[in-house]
Amino acid sequence: MTDTIEVERKRELPDDGSTLAPLLAQLGYVASAPVTEVDTYYSRPDVDYMQTVECLRVRRRGDFAEITYKPASTPTTHAADDVVSKVETNVILREGKQARTAERLLTSIGMRELVCVEKTRTTYRHPETPGVTVSIDTVHGAGTFVETEVNRPTADGAAELVEHIEKQLGIIGHPTVALPYRDLVLRQHE
């Protein structure tokens, strides 16, 4: 189990994000191979995680699986500029097949499934800035987004670093997205 402060901002892209890839490479970022992630989101029966903006999910990606929890949103976790800072708790499962077992466990203890979100993600990392990722996500049923994320033991200076990277990428003018992918996909099902 690992706990870190995740500071991130998401922006909607007007295209498939392919124009950012050469710029990221020019800035020294290294791309991972695109992966498909399938996230199944849950909520408690007595607390609506859609209202509290909590996150409980089981993520599957190839042979990898994890359970993630992010606490409820408060005025201190969501800044006016749509920068989100939350403690993220991850439990990495031994193998990808355990995701199904984790999902059964959650429903067995009364958690209710909200939605399943499928996205293709290409993650970019800079070798000189550990804990920083820029991800281009194509979310089935919601669109294409760029997410700039800083993971550190504390949030000190992380929002400023997110802003700096976004300026380097020339994406400051793209609309920010305050809602999680879970909520964007659920809106499409309404």
pLDDT single digits (tens) 110-120: 999 999 999 99
Tokens of 82: 């749509």
Q: Which helix (H) or strand (E) holds 133?
A: strand 132-139
* pTM score of the predicted model: 0.86
Answer whether 123's CB lies under 8 Å from 132's CB.
Answer: no
Q: Give CA–CA dist 149/20, Å, rounded.
A: 16
Give the pLDDT confidence of 130-171 residue by residue, as tens digits.
Answer: 999 999 999 999 999 999 999 888 888 888 999 999 999 999
User: Would you state the structure tokens that stand for residue 122, as one six-digit string?
Assistant: 């290409």
Identify the band that residue 1 occupies on the pLDDT scale cut at 50, 70 and 90.
very low
Q: How far apart are CA 57 and CA 40, in angstroms?
A: 5
